[in-house]
Amino acid sequence: MTNSGKDANLAERLLRTRWLVRAPIWLFRARLGWVFGTRLLLLEHLGRKSRQPRSAVLEVVDRTDSGYVVASGFGEQAQWLRNLDAHPEAFVSTGARTRIPVTARRLPPAEATATLRRYAARNPRAWAKLRPVLERTLGARIDESGTTLPLVALEERCPRG
């Protein structure tokens, strides 16, 4: 196994470690989310069946005029993604901004591919490390012809003017 293969294997195991992945949530709740800058966001949404509040911290893949774009590294199995499909209205906190009302919208494949290309161009080192991890968690290759990686636009309901 190559070093990148070992790194991807380790990263995948770490991403499946619940307490580790959920640790940033507590920083956001303690009003310390600003330490992540605008690279991460806290997504607050409703459970699809329970309608109980749920939270996930996600990396911002792109910033648009109307909001943020995030990726589902675990594909269609990610609970937050399934919850947003059922209840697209949510809140995000990022940087110094808290509880921004948003509506989730899945990006169509062509838009998702273009967004990932922009991310890879802006963050070549991060993408070189992240891509093998995503391919492992998705069980599919991500290449220039397209992606099966679900990307979601979180569009502000009351955009700043």
* Calpha distance 84→140 (Å, rounded): 23
Angle at 12 between CA 155 and CA 22, to 5 degrees: 55
pLDDT for the residue numbered 121? 94
Classified by CATH at the fold level, domain 3-156 comes out as: Pnp Oxidase; Chain A (2.30.110)
Q: What is the pLDDT of residues 22-33, one digit of tens each?
A: 788 988 999 999
Cβ 27 vs Cβ 35: under 8 Å: yes
Q: What is the pLDDT of residues 32-58, one digit of tens each?
A: 999 999 999 999 999 999 999 999 999
- Residue type at 96? A
- Per-residue model confidence as pLDDT tens digits over 72-129: 988 999 999 999 999 999 999 999 999 999 999 999 999 999 999 999 999 999 999 8
* Residue-level pLDDT at 28: 92
Closest CA to 105 of 76, 85, 91: 85
Instruction: Output the pTM of the full model.
Output: 0.85
Q: Kindly report the CA angle at 43 between 62 and 8, in degrees rounded to 5? A: 65
Neighbouring residues of 154: CB distance < 8 A, sequence distance ≥ 6: 41, 43, 67, 68, 69, 70, 90, 92, 102, 103, 104
Q: Could you tell me the residue ranges of all domains in the chain?
A: 3-156
Label each residue of 95-143 as H, E or C.
Answer: CCEEEEEEEEEECCHHHHHHHHHHHHHHCHHHHHHHHHHHHHHHCCCCE
